[in-house]
Amino acid sequence: MIAFLLKRVAWAIGVVLVLTFITYLIFFPGLRAAGLDPARLATNKTSTPQTVANARKFLGLDHPWTYQYGTFLLRLVRGPSPLEQEVSSGQADRLGFSFRNRLGVGHLVVSRFAVTLGLVLGAAVLWLGFAVFFGVAAALRPRGWIDRACSVFTGALAGVPVYLIGFTLLYLVAYVPTTGSFLGLHFGSFTLLPLVGYSSLRLSDPWPWAQHLILPWIALALAMVTLYFRLMRAEMLSALDQDYVRTARAKGLDERQIALRHALRNALPPVATLFGLDFGILLGGVVLVETVFGIPGLGSLALTSVLNLDVPTATGVIFFAGVLVVVVNLAVDVLQALLDPRVRYA
Amino acid sequence: MRQARSWLPIALAACALPLGLSACGGSSGTSTSASAGGASPGLIGPSVNDVPKSPTRGGRVRWVISSEPDSYDVTNTYSGFSWSMAYLVCNGLMTYPDKGGDTGLQPVPDLAAGAPKASADTKTWTFTLKQGVHFSNGKVVTPADVKATFMRMLNPKSSGDTIGYFLPIAGAPAYNAGKATDLPGITISGQQITFHLTKRVPTFPLRLALRTACVVPKGTPPTPQTTNVPPTTGPYMYAKIVPGRSATMDRNPYYADEVKAGLMPDRGFVDGYDISVGGSDTQANLAIQANQADVSANRSGSIARLAANPKYKSRIVSLALPEVAYFWLNPHVAPFDNVKVRQAINYAIDREAIVKVLGGSLVESPWGQVLPPSFPGVDAADGYPSKPDLAKARALMKASGVHTPVTTTLYNVQGEPYTSMGTAVQQMLAQIGIKLNVRALPGSALVQYVSNAKNAAPMGLYFWQADYPDAEGFEYPLLCGCEEVGGSNYGHYSNPDADRIMQQAVTTPLGPKRNALWEQANKVLTADAAWVPLALDRWIDIFSSRYHAFLLSNAMGGAADYAVGYLDK
């Protein structure tokens, strides 16, 4: 197990290093090759040569690219240097300094990550809950009405882009009630959910936070549920066809007990593995959902920083999201190894 | 700068250089510009562009914006939209009155007790500061705060975009370069503040009315502040800012007493603004329609659909800005070194079709001259036509002697609707034998790339908006081959006749003679096809049914004066 762990951790570190290198190549030498100056792009406001000079000093652009990359890595490990602290008026952190926002990139990323985490976790509860419950129900009665209804429902969703789901929900659930009429039907207008805005989570009163996220949760869950339902159903059907299930039936166990205590436990690991991988990727930023609903998460930060070529922020977000994926993958691998000894020796 | 095109303030900032004027000039007459080839504006409340006579007071405005202003720190703002917000929270020595039309373009004293005294050569300007005005933190405004404001703006650690306008202050270049620790060009005697300039600047009061010249307390850190913005003196103050998410403006607790004392004008009829940042324009429009929001400035496709709906038409305002969208042409790169080719393009372009691609008449108006119609003396009938004249264009191409087809490259802004516009222009120019390759870049990258003369970009898309109502900040920085002009002349264009006229204009006192010189230069530049002017941009706002009154200040780079707005009880 230790050897397995060490191997996986070493692999993860290698992947992170490759990620930082490729990110750096795109945003620094790559931009220069395109005839652009990363320092001027980073500062955005270049009305003084001094501001650009500060950015150039901070980013190490007066040195060879190997020095620049080394500084980039060193800052990740030990934090900003005294020079970087001085240029950024103490705001720089390990992920750098956004001249546009005048904030440490790490500070920006962490605050946005918390928002995305709330969005992804809430949606995950919905799509996993649906997939497990209805996947099991569908497998227990193949071609029954639950199976057919869920298959049609998820099959229809499979082809619908998440932004269309989002805008449709926004229109039908948040907007139409306020008009008091829909397709010729008239009713008293009311407000069901807010159309704009976001509130931070307060444990003493979580409702303002939740009401801004209900529709994004549903939109993201609808976009993810198809694959999970089908996988859960298929794994359950496969598990129910195993010898140990036949033995359990022969012993006279109740079908419900067989399904929940025996078959489901064996059907869940592939779903859990997929969830782990998706979770890491989604945490990196659910760009489309965040954009449609105006959620100030990591995805929207990534989008605006890349569109604006805000180099320090873009590299920081990409690096952070990449590390998240690697870490979650590592955690999934370790969990699998703990649950299934066969994995450790594969 | 403009409010809906988030890349534009970035672009304009990128082009500003400390050695000269770099931003945009001025405009006049919202009434004429409002009718220049565009949809008629909707009206809300008593009228557009007028201060309501008996506004109801109270309530909070719910303001939805899709992207954050470039800064909440007034010294570092540089877009029509962020100046609209700054208009609510701060005051400078000068400002523009809450009036539409030409009256709204004449600067008036704000924190100054009266009109400035200027020397005959307009190199010395003396102001007397009002006594008893408070910042929102309770501190009284003093002349030392005024001087500190300019020292902060010009500090090497600052990144303000209007620095170029104040470099004529004696000692400013050295101070801005970090070679001096004081600004000797601003002297104080009692309540008097005197600006000593190194050259004639007849437009100095106009520059002092810029929102970046809003007074902040002495001791404010020079670096731009993100959340802990400096206190200011306007009717409102920022109570809370969450970057990328929201901002809240509450009443400045001292302003009401200053109004009663006759020190400050009666502005700001609501109790505050709750600003929600992020989300799409469609989302914002739905929120307005549902009366979950009160104000949204956006140019989404749904705006045109809403304007056609009688229920919403009266709640949409579309007003022409002093802003021109144009292609600049590099006369040092073939085929644009030939004036007949440049003129041919101007006749081949279908400006009405471009307006349709860019969003329609609610969003743009076709335009065929360098200066926008809001400038005095500009005749909308002059300039290149809205509809193409292919016969004339082809004849000019033939007369130019250039062998067709000729290939060149357009540097365009990435994303819609500019991608579609690029495709449309390719088809238009193909009809006169010009094969156009289109290279698209993000806005800030585009400006940086084309500013580099080594890249020899032949043609590019740009937008220019007047910072204040004088063409000194419009055609002069964009088209003068003068040495002292900054880096916004991307085509590196120079016309000796126009240069001579413009250099005479900048030192001529404000008035009809100066305006006539600018218009003369406009005619020369337009005839020489320095640009391919395309369209005038328009400011669009949509309001809830409970919000009334709106004023667009073409004096201030097309900033909206939301302080005239009020809510139903």
Q: What confidence tens digit (pLDDT) does each residue in B185-214 have?
A: 999 999 999 999 999 999 999 999 999 999
Chain B residues near residue A198 by CB distance under 8 angstroms: 245-246, 276, 278
Average pLDDT over residues A193-222: 93
Chain A residues near residue B12 by CB distance under 8 angstroms: none
Taken in order A199, A200, A203, A204, the sign of the CA dihedral is negative
Chain B residues near residue A34 by CB distance under 8 angstroms: 445, 449
B398 Cβ neighbours under 8 A, 6+ residues apart: none
Q: Which residue did the predictor score with more confidence, B100 or A149?
A: A149
How many residues does this entry show for chain A? 346
Per mean pLDDT, which of A177-191, A324-338, B154-168, B434-448 is the most reliable?
A177-191
Residue A3 has pLDDT above 90, yes or no: no
Position A228 scores a pLDDT of 95
Position A96 scores a pLDDT of 87
State the average pLDDT for chain B: 86
Whole-model pTM? Answer: 0.86
- CB nearest B226 (choices: A36, A101, A291): A101
Position A346 scores a pLDDT of 57
Among chain A residues, the shortest Cα distance to B6 is held by A308
Contact A47 B178 (CB under 8 A): no
Contact B290 A179 (CB under 8 A): yes
Contact A294 B445 (CB under 8 A): no
C-alpha closest to that of B479 among B316, B342, B302, B276: B342
Give the C-alpha separation, A25 to B160, whole Å.
31
Summarised one tens digit per residue, pLDDT across range B6-20 is 333 322 222 222 222
Position B477 scores a pLDDT of 87
* Packed helices A207-240 and A105-140: angle between N→C axes, nearest 10 degrees: 40
Contact B13 A41 (CB under 8 A): no
Residue A81 has pLDDT above 80, yes or no: yes
Rounded to the nearest 10°, the torsion over CA B388, B390, B392, B394 is 140
State the average pLDDT for chain A: 86
Å between A102 CA and nearest CA of chain B: 6
Chain B residues near residue A182 by CB distance under 8 angstroms: none
Q: Does A307 touch chain B (CB under 8 A)?
A: yes
Interface mutation vs chain B, best among A195, A287, A317, most B CBs within 10 Å = A195
DSSP codes joined into one string, B225-279: PSSSPPP--SSEEEEEEETTTEEEEEE-TTHHHHHHTTSS-----SSEEEEEE-S
Is residue B404 within 8 Å of residue B432, measured between CB atoms? yes
Confidence of residue B140 (pLDDT cuts 50, 70, 90): very high
Summarised one tens digit per residue, pLDDT across range A268-283 is 888 888 988 888 888 7
Is residue A126 within 8 Å of residue A218, measured between CB atoms? yes
- % of chain B at pLDDT higher than 90: 60
Chain B residues near residue A301 by CB distance under 8 angstroms: 244
Average pLDDT over residues A14-39: 78
Average pLDDT over residues A211-217: 96
**Model ipTM over 0.85:** no
For residue A201, how many C-alpha atoms fall within 13 Å in the half-sphere facing its CB?
A: 12
Among A261-275, B43-57, B531-545, the minimum mean pLDDT is found in B43-57
Structure tokens at A152: 């049609």
Contact B163 A198 (CB under 8 A): no
Distances (CA, A) of B428 to A113, B3, B283, B352, B373: 47, 29, 35, 12, 26
Q: Does A288 touch chain B (CB under 8 A)?
A: no
Average pLDDT over residues B468-479: 89
C-alpha closest to that of B123 among B175, B170, B171, B176: B170
Residue B27 has pLDDT above 60, yes or no: no
Give the C-alpha separation, B552 to B172, whole Å.
33
Confidence of residue A191 (pLDDT cuts 50, 70, 90): very high
Å between A210 CA and nearest CA of chain B: 16
Average pLDDT over residues B466-476: 88
Å between A22 CA and nearest CA of chain B: 21
Among A290-299, B38-47, B240-249, B469-478, the minimum mean pLDDT is found in B38-47
Among A293-297, B22-26, B420-424, the minimum mean pLDDT is found in B22-26
Q: What is the DSSP letter of B140?
A: B
A156 Cβ neighbours under 8 A, 6+ residues apart: none
Position B292 scores a pLDDT of 93
Position B484 scores a pLDDT of 57
